C-alpha cells in the first residue's frame, strides 16, 4: 500500500532545499546581471572563481545532505544545525555580488577587495560548521578534517589581517578552483543520489 506521508528526512530537506535554492538564485541572478552589462563591467578572475566556488558548495551541500536520508528522528537543534551551513553559503552568495540595480561600470576587483574580509569570515564559519557536520553527523574521523582545518585557518588569517596582496588572493582562488575539481573527482562515489 502506498503512503502519501513524507518521511522525516524529506520534511527536513525541504527547508534545506529552500535555503540552497535562494543562494543559487542569488548567484545566478546577480551574475547574470553582470553579464548583461559585460561591456562595461570589469571582471576579476579571483572574484569569478569565488562565485563559482560558492555555487559549487551549494550543489555539494545538496548532495552531502542526502547522506542523512536514513536518519529517522530529527530534533530542532539538529535541524537548526543542518540549516547553518546553507545559511552561511547564502550569506556568502549575497556578499559576493553587487545587489544594486545599476551595475554598469562595475569593477569586480574593487568590489571583491571591499568585500573579501567578511566573505572570508563567513566562509570560515561555514568550514567550521562543515567540520562539525562531518564529525558528528556523518561520523567521519577527525583526521579527515585536516585540510578543512587548514583552509579554516587560512580564511581567518587573511580576513582578520586584511591581507591585500593580490598574489595571495590569486593563489587562494587557484587553490579553491583546483580543490573543487580534485574533490569532484575523488569524491564522485560519495556524492551520489540513489
* Per-residue H/E/C for 50-61: HHHHHHHHHHHH
Q: For residues 54 and 131, what is the distance between their CA atoms, to the nearest angstrom?
A: 17
**Model pLDDT for residues 156-176, shown as the tens digit of each residue:** 999 999 988 999 999 999 999
Q: C-alpha distances in angstroms, 189 versus 18, 135, 182, 183, 192?
A: 26, 19, 13, 11, 6
Q: For residues 162 and 160, what is the distance between their CA atoms, to the nearest angstrom?
A: 5
Number of Cβ within 10 Å of residue 132's Cβ equals: 14
Residues in contact with 66: Cβ distance below 8 Å, sequence separation at least 6, in sequence order: 13, 193
Q: For residues 172 and 177, what is the distance between their CA atoms, to the nearest angstrom?
A: 9
**Model pLDDT for residues 53-75, shown as the tens digit of each residue:** 999 999 999 999 999 999 999 99
pLDDT, position 83: 97
pLDDT, position 16: 97
Q: For residues 146 and 136, what is the distance between their CA atoms, to the nearest angstrom?
A: 16
CB 12 within 8 A of CB 77: no
pLDDT, position 104: 54
pLDDT, position 189: 86
User: Residue-wise pLDDT tens for the chain (194 aa)?
Assistant: 456 688 999 999 999 999 999 999 999 999 999 998 889 999 999 999 999 999 999 999 999 999 999 999 999 999 999 999 999 999 999 999 987 655 556 899 999 999 999 999 999 999 999 999 999 999 999 999 999 999 999 999 999 999 889 999 999 999 999 999 999 999 888 888 88
CB 55 within 8 A of CB 89: no
**C-alpha grid cell, residue 49:** 572563481
pLDDT, position 191: 82
pLDDT, position 2: 58
pLDDT, position 187: 87
Q: For residues 41 and 177, what is the distance between their CA atoms, to the nearest angstrom?
A: 22
**C-alpha grid cell, residue 116:** 573579501
Amino acid at each position: 500500500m502506498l503512503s502519501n506521508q513524507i518521511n522525516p528526512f524529506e520534511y527536513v530537506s525541504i527547508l534545506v532545499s529552500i535555503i540552497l535554492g535562494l543562494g543559487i538564485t542569488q548567484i545566478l541572478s546577480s551574475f547574470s546581471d553582470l553579464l548583461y552589462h559585460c561591456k562595461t563591467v570589469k571582471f576579476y578572475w579571483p572574484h569569478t572563481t569565488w562565485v563559482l566556488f560558492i555555487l559549487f558548495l551549494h550543489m555539494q551541500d545538496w548532495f552531502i545532505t542526502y547522506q542523512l536520508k536514513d536518519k529517522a528522528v530529527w530534533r530542532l537543534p539538529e535541524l537548526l544545525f543542518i540549516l547553518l551551513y546553507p545559511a552561511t553559503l547564502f550569506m556568502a552568495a549575497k556578499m559576493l555580488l553587487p545587489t544594486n540595480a545599476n551595475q554598469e561600470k562595475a569593477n569586480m576587483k574593487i568590489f571583491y577587495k571591499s568585500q573579501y574580509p567578511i566573505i572570508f569570515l563567513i566562509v570560515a564559519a561555514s568550514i567550521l560548521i562543515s567540520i562539525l557536520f562531518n564529525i558528528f553527523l556523518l561520523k567521519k574521523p577527525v583526521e579527515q578534517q585536516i585540510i578543512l582545518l587548514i583552509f579554516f585557518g587560512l580564511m581567518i588569517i587573511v580576513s582578520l589581517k586584511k591581507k591585500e596582496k593580490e598574489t595571495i588572493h590569486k593563489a587562494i582562488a587557484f587553490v579553491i578552483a583546483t580543490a573543487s575539481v580534485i574533490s569532484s573527482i575523488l569524491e564522485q562515489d560519495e556524492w551520489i543520489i540513489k
